[in-house]
Amino acid sequence: MSVSIIGLGKIGTAIISHLLVLGEEVRVWNRSPAAVETMVALGAVPLSDVRDAFTSELVLSILFDDAAVREVITHEAIASATGRDTLHVCLSTLSPSLADELAMAHRSAGLGYLSAPLFGRPEAVEQKAANICVAGDPILIERARACLESFGRVWAVGDEPRQANVAKLCGNFLIGAAVAAMAEATSILSAENADADAFMNLMTETLFASPIYKNYAPSVTGARPLPASGLALPIKDMGLLTTIAAQSQSSSRLLKALCDSLSRAQELGFGAQDWSTALGRSARIASAV
């Protein structure tokens, strides 16, 4: 099977390495040429035009955000492959509305499309331990499965591509709610002069012994802050999810409280920090609701 990869960031290059080991023909396209040369040295075939990627049986794209996808995966590029039996699996974390738009453009051109946002950092992809949240036609999911399983575990959540993008936002919401709850609980304990870190140790070694709580708790309390990554992305994601919840009149009290807490943290000047540090510091500034 011929596979094309669009986007040679850390995750894209990690995927290519796995596919080359499997002996697949891997064709690569990237905006900047340096990453292409590295991959060609490993055995990949360079593409000079992104449209050529869509002549492969399978196209994996892994680009930064909506804007990058709109720039690279143009309607014109998709239409150029009309009539081919191409399947495009979009691994980027995109808005559900862009996923809808892409699904429609591919359908019009007779191509297959799946949304498959990843949970997992580049190191997880290197270790074949990514978690790939997929949605779209089940037959297409089976066509892509072997390739996707070369770098992670496949979790199908629905048959409409956008459902995977909503699921990715919901996953981020569960993380944000956990972080915001830890921020409130530990700020109450700190105000009581109790040992908030000892409390979080108890929690993260027992009831909440999972990666998210273990990773974020010391950053929330300030014991070991995570590297600054900024509130812009979480605020954007939670805003998107709020719109989606409103469309279906779904319950969203906690989501609203999380959005308000993020805005408050930004107002307090913590906009450049990781959300765990920002929500933790903001909660410790006594000011009620």
Q: Which of 106, 127, 107, 102 is nearest to 117 (CA)?
A: 102
Q: How far is Cα 189 from Cα 176, in angstroms, rounded to an integer?
A: 20
CB of 16 to its own copies, least distance (A): 24
CB of 160 to its own copies, least distance (A): 7
> In this structure, are residues 112 and 140 in contact, taking their beta carbons and an 8 Å threshold?
yes
Residue located via tokens 């959300």: 275
CB of 243 to its own copies, least distance (A): 11
Q: How far is Cα 99 from Cα 43, in angstroms, rounded to an integer?
A: 32
Between 53 and 183, CB nearer to its own copies:
183
Q: Which of 90, 85, 175 is nearest to 135 (CA)?
A: 90
Query: In this structure, what token pair is assigned to residue 205?
Result: 């070694």
Q: Helix, strand, or coil here: 114?
A: strand
Between 7 and 136, CB nearer to its own copies:
136
Residue located via tokens 């490993």: 42
Q: How far is Cα 191 from Cα 182, in angstroms, rounded to an integer?
A: 14
CB of 108 to its own copies, least distance (A): 23
Between 76 and 159, CB nearer to its own copies:
159
Q: Are strands 130-135 and 118-119 parallel, antiparallel or unpaired?
A: antiparallel
CB of 204 to its own copies, least distance (A): 8
Provide the angle, in degrees to the nearest 10, between the axes of the packed helices 96-109 and 161-191. Answer: 170
Question: Letter for the amino acid at 46?
Answer: P
CB of 49 to its own copies, least distance (A): 35
Q: How many CB atoms lie within 10 A of CB 187?
A: 21
CB of 289 to its own copies, least distance (A): 6
Query: In this structure, what token pair is assigned to residue 169?
Result: 């936002």
